Chains A and B, each alone.
Chain A
Amino acid sequence: MSSFGHIPAPHEGYTNMKIRLNGDDYITKAASTVSELLVELNINPMRVAVELNMVIVKKAEYGSAALKDGDNVEVVNFVGGG
């Protein structure tokens, strides 16, 4: 089971949405947009591509792309390959 499986105690300012993130369940902490999610995950937005419910989110739209319960989010980057 992933370390993201546990639900943190409800806290003011916490969104606590349950989403699918890269194939695993994930409970958001303070994130309500793609941009905030990347901050929460400590991911450099310039190095990745994000899909929200199978639709690519352009980098310029990270800030306005709102997350909701049950969303399916994929965050990909480049790895070694031929």
Chain B
Amino acid sequence: MESASTDKLIINGVEFKSRLWVGTGKYKDFEETKKAIEASGADMVTVAVRRVNIFDSKSPNLLDYIDPKIYKILPNTAGCYNVEDALRYARLGREAGISDFVKLEVIGDDKTLFPDVCGLLKATEILAKEGFIVLPYSTDDLIVAQRLVNAGAAAVMPLGAPIGSGLGIRNPYNIKIILETVKGVPIIVDAGVGTASDAAIAMELGCDAVLINTGIAGAAEPIMMAAAMKHAVIAGRFAYKAGRIQRRLYASASSPFDGML
């Protein structure tokens, strides 16, 4: 049987231990962040790029808790509403970190945080040419996904639902269409996962990974939820690989008639 250890996610030659990727925002403190990430089993960890607090250089730093030697640090361009800002944050993130990976966000609207896909395409193309491994946060739109791949994206990360909403995978059929049509790059659900079953559904559809922040950090017990998400992603992946039964309207007895009295 194929096991988790032989079923690895690989992007541009980089191998990931886990198909669960996690964010580091919204935790109570860095100690909780650290424990939740450990419990999640994730080795890909997203971070944001922001000004250093120059008034208090002794304040704790995220990287004191999330060791870049252990975790792959994925800078994002969260908060960027146009191409220029997204490029700037991506380049700063690369310089502050040690890899060419960027989780590219170009946001179009502050109420939904839906991506501005026109800006996203443009920024993807520019950053890919600069050698970035671009992982764009996108809508669950097949044509956008195809265009992103053509623009040089190393993966496509369609949303399940708005960022932080916890609404789950709102359009599994769109995700399925992307999975069946877009070949050659991983499809990673990013945003919307609210609880373990949402993560399992994404993986059962055939997604290559799931990225979760609020679904873990916002739970009443983030460390326990991190463990729940870890198991859900593994369970969903195994179920996908195992091939689920067809749905049927009527019963099909599991116990034989033969031998009944």
Contacts and interface: CB of A to CB of B under 8 A. Distances in A.
Of B62, B94, B211, which is in contact with the most chain A CB atoms at under 10 Å from its CB?
Answer: B62
- Secondary structure dominating the interface of B: mixed
A41 interface: yes
A79 interface: yes
Interface string B175-194: 00000000000000001000
A21 B214 contact: no
B92 A80 contact: no
Contacts of B33: 80
A15 to B, nearest CB: 17
Contacts of B58: 42
A43 to B, nearest CB: 5
Interface residues of B, number: 37
Contacts of B23: 80-82
Contacts of B97: 78
Interface string B48-75: 1111101101100111000000000101
Given A42-B58, A49-B95, A82-B214, A75 B47 contact: no
Contact of A42 (B24, B57, B62): B57
Interface stretch (A6-14, A28-36, A51-59, A63-71): A51-59
Given A2-B55, A3-B55, A23-B51, A79 B96 contact: no
Given A78-B75, A81-B47, A82-B163, A22 B95 contact: no
B47 A47 contact: no
A51 B93 CA distance: 11
A12 to B, nearest CB: 25
Interface residues on A, range: 20 to 34
Contact of B46 (A21, A42, A74, A81): A81
Interface in B161-218: 163-164, 191, 211, 213-214
Contacts of A49: 49, 92-96
Interface string B84-96: 0000000111111
Nearest to A74: B51
Nearest to B23: A82
Interface of A: 2-4, 21-23, 26, 41-44, 47-51, 56, 58-59, 74-82
Interface of B: 23-27, 33, 46-52, 54-55, 57-58, 61-63, 73, 75-76, 78, 91-97, 163-164, 191, 211, 213-214
13 contacts: A22-B51, A42-B57, A43-B57, A47-B96, A56-B92, A76-B52, A76-B92, A77-B61, A77-B63, A78-B49, A80-B24, A82-B25, A82-B163
